[in-house]
Amino acid sequence: MATGIQTIIESVKDKQLQEIGQKILAKQRISFEDGVTLFERGSLSYLGALANWVREQKHGDKTYFNRNFHIEPTNVCVFSCKFCSYSRLYANREEGWELSIDQMMHIVKSYDGKPVTEVHIVGGVHPKMNLEFFMELLRTIKAHRPDLHIKGFTPVELDYMFKKAKVSTEEGMRMAHEAGLDSLPGGGAEIFHPEIRTQICEDKVDADGWLHIHRTAHNLGMNSNATMLYGHVEKFWHRIDHMDRLRKLQDETGGFNTFIPLKFRNKENDMSNVPESTVIEDMRMYAVARLYMHNFPHIKAYWPMLGRQNAQLSLSFGVNDIDGTIDDSTKIYAMAGSEEQTPAMSTAELVTLIKQVKRQPVERGTLYNEIRDYTNVDMQLFELDPALN
Ligand code: V47
Ligand code: SF4
């Protein structure tokens, strides 16, 4: 007897879409052309049904989140990405901020006794904040709270630090890892293809440089994430090209945990004339990501950028992770016009959000070790206990 998903695939009139569906059902990888076809011709409902099937095969209803906070050392940046609403050039640094190690430790210490498991460190590329400065930051955080997972620095920041310090990528990554860096976040990837990269962020590390830094981290036993900034001037095939390069590196190293499509927001940047993608386009993007990135365990929706309701919706389009509690220090998205001007959600709010759409909330560590399943936790009682929040 045909299962639900088989019936859906067989009822599609477009033979090519039907063949792609059969490949997915047989757990085969889909080709570059298949990926473009899904974007061009797949209906929202077809893409959603396939992506949800893959998501449930891999994770059932489990929906992961973590408890983290962000540190943004500076928004002063030597680069000039056109989509960036956040950075200030060094010449205009009076409009920016730059935190000392003491100031950053003050943020870390404000979480003492709270059950956060991760700090995410990401910011602009300040010409005076060098490798030595960040190594000291990493060592100081680890000395204060050894169990806190440090996920930090994009290849954009690392490439600049390593070049300035005149160390190779291998040497620099080894130094950072030894100083306490546990994993890499996914930022700085944008769109890899030079046709787009030269238009939107021509002066920062290129695709090969980005991929090489992640490869080097993986070879040292570190895990990492990857992002893609979509919904601006790129074409569908540029998105597939981007995902294809990541998929190939994953074949080589297996070091990626999560793929995170990031929706381009157009407030107060040099691309404000470019319209933002629709919610339908966002859901199609998540679904194709789930279908194309078969060797990435997790697909994440970054809720501050997407908004809470769309993050809920994404859980039916291949997404199985909605990041974390984050706290209100994240400025990079608020400045670009995200739904959430002060992104912060308590654990109870996150759990409720996931339960509202009948999924299973599971708190995870950065590396997807399961910390707690909240299916049967009474969130009203939970909220009353200050030690848990
Ligand atoms: O690379 C900048 C993006 C990224 C805009 O690994 C914008 O867990 C949309 O990568 N519209 C940095 N996006 C943040 C990042 C990230 C976020 C959350 C979790 C993880 C993770 C990584 O922010 C940049 C860029 O692609 N960004 N400006 C904008 N206007
Ligand atoms: Fe600098 Fe990052 Fe903004 Fe580009 S996206 S200008 S590298 S802070």
Sheet holding 360-364, edge to edge: 321-324, 62-66, 360-364, 370-373
Segment 302-306 shows an average pLDDT of: 86
Distance 87 CA to ligand 1 centre (A): 13
pLDDT at 386: 61
Q: Look at residue 329 and tell me whether its pLDDT is greater than 60.
A: no
Q: 70, 72, 80, 87: which to mutate for ligand 2, most atoms within 8 A of CB?
A: 87
User: Which ligand sits closest to the CA of 192?
Assistant: 1
Measured distance CA(206)–CA(197) in Å, rounded:
8
pLDDT at 89: 74
Q: Which of 94-98, 160-164, 168-172 has the lowest mean pLDDT?
A: 94-98
How does pLDDT run across 35-49, given as a tens digit for each residue? 999 999 999 999 999
Segment 307-311 shows an average pLDDT of: 92
Q: Percent of the chain having pLDDT more than 90?
A: 83
Q: Which of 18-27, 79-88, 378-387 has the lowest mean pLDDT?
A: 378-387
Residue 339 · residue 305 · CB < 8 Å: yes
Measured distance CA(131)–CA(3) in Å, rounded:
55
Is there an atom of ligand 2 within 6 Å of 368 CB?
Answer: no
Which sequence spans correspond to the domains of the chain? 4-59, 62-388
Measured distance CA(235)–CA(217) in Å, rounded:
30
pLDDT at 344: 72
Three-state SS annotation for the chain: CCCHHHHHHHCCCCHHHHHHHHHHHCCCCCCHHHHHHHHHHCCHHHHHHHHHHHHHHHHCCEEEEECEEEECCECECCCCCCCCCCCECHHHHHHCCECCHHHHHHHHHCCCCCCCCEEEECCCCCCCCCHHHHHHHHHHHHHHCCCCEEEECCHHHHHHHHHHHCCCHHHHHHHHHHHCCCEECCCCCCCCCHHHHHHHCCCCCCHHHHHHHHHHHHHCCCEEEEEEEECCCCCHHHHHHHHHHHHHHHHHHCCEEEEEEEECCCCCCCCCCCCCCCHHHHHHHHHHHHHHCCCCCEEECCHHHHCHHHHHHHCCCCCCEEEECCCCCCCCCHHHCCCCCCCCCCHHHHHHHHHHCCCEEEEECCCCCEEEECCCCCHHHHHHCHHHC
Q: Look at residue 336 and tell me whether its pLDDT is greater than 80.
A: no
**CATH number of this structure's domain 62-388:** 3.20.20.70
Q: Which of 97-101, 283-287, 380-384 has the lowest mean pLDDT?
A: 380-384
pLDDT at 389: 62
Q: Look at residue 356 and tell me whether its pLDDT is greater than 60.
A: yes
Q: Look at residue 2 and tell me whether its pLDDT is greater than 70.
A: no
Sheet holding 183-184, edge to edge: 68-71, 118-121, 149-152, 183-184, 223-230, 256-263, 298-299
Segment 55-76 shows an average pLDDT of: 95
Distance 249 CA to ligand 1 centre (A): 20
Segment 292-299 shows an average pLDDT of: 98
Q: Look at residue 136 and tell me whether its pLDDT is greater than 60.
A: yes
How does pLDDT run across 72-131, given as a tens digit for each residue? 999 999 999 999 988 877 667 777 889 999 999 999 999 999 999 999 999 999 999 999
- Looking at per-residue pLDDT, the higher value among 220 and 330 belongs to 220
Q: Look at residue 373 and tell me whether its pLDDT is greater than 90.
A: yes
Distance 80 CA to ligand 2 centre (A): 6
pLDDT at 387: 61
Distance 259 CA to ligand 2 centre (A): 20
Q: Look at residue 32 and tell me whether its pLDDT is greater than 90.
A: yes
Q: Look at residue 271 and tell me whether its pLDDT is greater than 60.
A: yes
pLDDT at 335: 61
pLDDT level of residue 346 (50, 70, 90 thresholds): confident
Question: What residue's CA is closest to ligand 1, atom 7?
Answer: 264
